[in-house]
Structure 1
Amino acid sequence: MTRTLVIVGHGMTGHRLAARVRELDTGDHWHIVVLAEEPDPAYDRVALSGYLAGRTRQSLRLSGAEFLQDDRTDLHLGCPVAAVDRTARKVMTAYQGAISYDALVLATGSRPFVPPVPGHELANCFVYRTFGDLDALRAAARPGAPGVVVGGGLLGLEAANALRLLGMRPHVIETAPHVMPAQLDAGAARVLHRGAEDLGLRLHCDTAVGSLDGDSSGRVRAVTLKDGAVLDAALVVFAAGIRPRDELAPGSGLQRAERGGFLVDAYCRTADPRVWAVGECAAVEGRCYGLVAPGHRMAESVARQLTGLPAEPFDGSDTSTALKLLDVHVATFGSTSDTDPTLELVFAEGTSRYAKVFLDPDGSRLRGGILAGDTGARTTLSAFVGRRPPADLEQLLLPPRAANA
């Protein structure tokens, strides 16, 4: 008998879950209903800045014709969910009425955090999350004018580079002592800092926004920092982190973690055996993960559970990532946590390239590392995680440069 799987959210994780269930459900036991809040099918949010650089919405789309036309899947766009009735096993939508489910997966993602500083509601203040956000940002951009990005993490630097590509002069405000504090240490951040400055970005670290100041028309005109500096601003982009979209929890009786997010176990299960949560809205054993790769691992685990296949519990210890940001390659691999006793080795060449590795205290096992600049490949180094480090570790981390480099 065919059962109904309802997925609330069609972001990158929700789409990965739906696609994997379709692939693994060879007996056609599930009919999948996907409820998308946005008017567009799932798209590559990681590559969203490419939209400002000329890529089309279609080119960023994750769902092809096969997915959109599959009669085993119903995708409802622009259809937010208002409530969940777990007793009746129904979700109440804004426009499609009530939809019954046999299994429910919450993939509602996250929302941008806007610090409640004075003036945050002024015109020409934006977030950086959706196609609509970027359309509004592009319409407001003025070549040659200054723009301020609040937040020096991964998303903030992406937003600042987008302003640069739009011809603006970007400033970045970061409360931590260096940019990308969640992924990089101070040494790696210095390499990225140099790359940012070479491109014309102005970074203001170890400070915060005190207020946004408006003109007589209600538009932002300047940003006052807590250290007293005043930055002219034709627009402001808030990229100061995200918060899990867990608004459905109170009305449905689902438990939230202390810092937000649907509380789930290592298999992404809530206390209700018919309800799971995956991606940025899921607090796995109390912790939320704001990266795509962990969301995909959660989706894989849940897809296997739903189709009766052996599933691995989600292990959040590996938050490996790799990207080219501001013309600088940065990457992490394995575990980069220094909360447990570790042996740390650093290899660097000025501010052009940097590598740090974490090993067991006796040096017998490689745990992970941080890379910035022209270093060795993350994939090569990842192969040694959990094993004795190779004798040529330094050469793998900082390989000889090409003669014309």
Structure 2
Amino acid sequence: EEPRRAYDRVHLSEYFNGKTAEDLSMSTASWYEEQEIDLYLNNPVTGVDRMSKTVSTLSGEKYNYDFLVFATGSAAFVPNIKGIEKEGVFVYRTIEDLDLISAYSKNAKKASVIGGGLLGLEAAKALIDLGIEETSIIEFAPRLMPRQIDLAGSEMLKSMLVDLGLQIHLNKNTSSIEGETSISGLKFSDDSELAIDMLVISAGIKPRDELARQCGINVGPRGGIVVDTEMQTNDPCVFAIGECALFEEMIYGLIAPGYEMAEVVASNLCAQSKSFKSFDMSTKLKLIGIDVASFGDPFINEPDCRTIVFENKHKGIYKRINISNDGQYLLGGILIGDATAYNMLLQTSVNRIALSENPEELILGSRSGEQAGAGIE
């Protein structure tokens, strides 16, 4: 569908730091030839006929298949807000979106991003890099990154982002986009208003499942192509992977589970049995220069665990680890501002490595001055 080879959407904001579309590309043009893969660009599939096992494209071609894999990904979720069609309103998803944002930003002074999740913060960074004088984030939830970090971690992150010049508006439900033909501001359900001349929407994703739906493949009530542990749909010859796939009522929006799903499909098509299991959603990122990480179960609370927290507001550091009630195992945690111990903590949690009698040393450091490591080098 797109005119380009697959590229890295996770680091889209680097496009405004001088990286080109080619720099963001995940492979070279020659790689497809070397792998004997035919690549067709700018020619979206318009239909799938499961009876004849053919795929039709916009240009009129038809392709036969023995097995079909949907890897259609996701699209930006655009909330149903009055005035959403106005000039100056953009989504943050593709390189073409970024080109439109860049061109419009030359005459914009105040911009907002709807969405305080991972992509929303990346979009805010992009607006800062474009030189927008005032950039703000609008989030419906009471905290930033509600799927990854807790309230205290969000407060630390918010404080650091404000220090970088961002305005943060939480608990905000946008009711309308104001202006004649172009955006001039936002109106919220609490009757407050915010004057802006540019808006970027990064409020989540929706699975691209429309082709599967059209050809009778089962999809979830809220979207997503339903798959089993082998990524197989209700048609034994059709599979789905990545952000379009719904596994055990969950859409996995990270790159690592997508790679694992691809490995599962490839293995099974090559007669090597492999199954997909619920995937660990641990993640480590650097958002606008700030380390943010979560692993295991970051949200489990007492009395189901024991929680150890370290907070240094002066340095912008927040660390939380959740320990089993018997003190034996690390269940999960959150790191803001300093994620140097992330890999050690993740392995300790995933591999259920027994903890020392002083588990606080995992985030505070050893009292003897040595690096605590739960037996991991």
TM-score by length of 2: 0.91
Once the two structures are TM-superposed, the CA of residue 295 in structure 1 deviates from its matched residue by 1.0
Deviations 1:325-372, CA, capped at 9 Å, x for gaps: 122101112233539973041322243211222333433222222111
Matches within 5 A, 1:99-118: 99-118=63-82
For 2:302 and 2:217, how far apart are their aligned partners in 1?
33
Q: Which residue of 1 aligns with 2:243?
A: 280
CA-based RMSD: 2.0
Partner in structure 2 of residue 359 of structure 1 = 323
C-alpha distance 340-312 of structure 1, shift in aligned 2 (>3 A): farther
Stretches of structure 1 that go unaligned for 5 or more consecutive residues are 1-36
Which residue pairs with 1:171 in the alignment? Answer: 136
What is the correspondence of 1:2-401 to structure 2 with a 5 Å cutoff?
37-70=1-34, 72-95=36-59, 97-142=61-106, 145-168=109-132, 169-215=134-180, 218-316=181-279, 318-336=280-298, 338=300, 342-351=304-313, 352-385=316-349, 386-399=352-365
Question: Are residues 301 and 344 of structure 1, via their aligned partners in 2, closer, same or farther at CA, if it must alter by over 3 Å?
Answer: farther
- Map of 2:372 onto structure 1: none
The structure 1 segments of at least 4 consecutive aligned residues displaced by more than 6 Å after TM superposition are none
With over 3 angstroms needed to count, the CA separation of the structure-2 counterparts of 1:375 and 1:313, relative to structure 1, is: closer
Displacement of 1:39 after TM fit? Answer: 0.3
Aligned length: 362
Q: Secondary structure at the match of 1:276?
A: strand
Letter in 2 for 1:329: D
Instruction: Please tell me whether the aligned partners of residues 213 and 221 of structure 1 are also in contact (alpha carbons under 8 angstroms).
Output: yes
Calculate percent identity across the aligned residue pairs.
40
Q: CA deviation at 1:381?
A: 0.8
CA distance in 2, matches of 1:342, 1:296: 33
Greater alpha carbon shift after TM alignment, 177-186 vs 144-153: 144-153
Shift of 1:94: 1.1
Matched residues in 1 for 2:56 and 2:28: separation? Answer: 28
Conserved? CA contact 2:69–2:239, under 8 Å: yes
Residue 193 of structure 1 aligns to a residue whose secondary structure is helix
Q: Do the aligned partners of 1:342 and 1:359 also contact (CA within 8 Å) in 2? A: no
Moved more, 342-351 or 186-195: 342-351
Alpha-carbon distance between aligned partners in 1 of 2:212 and 2:76, rounded to the nearest angstrom? 19
CA separation of 1:209/1:397 partners in 2, compared to 1, >3 Å: closer, same or farther? same
TM-score (norm 1): 0.85
TM-aligned CA deviation for residue 100 of structure 1: 0.6
Instruction: Give distance in 1, aligned partners of 2:151 and 2:291.
Output: 16
CA 1:399/1:373 → structure 2, altered by over 3 Å: closer, same or farther? farther
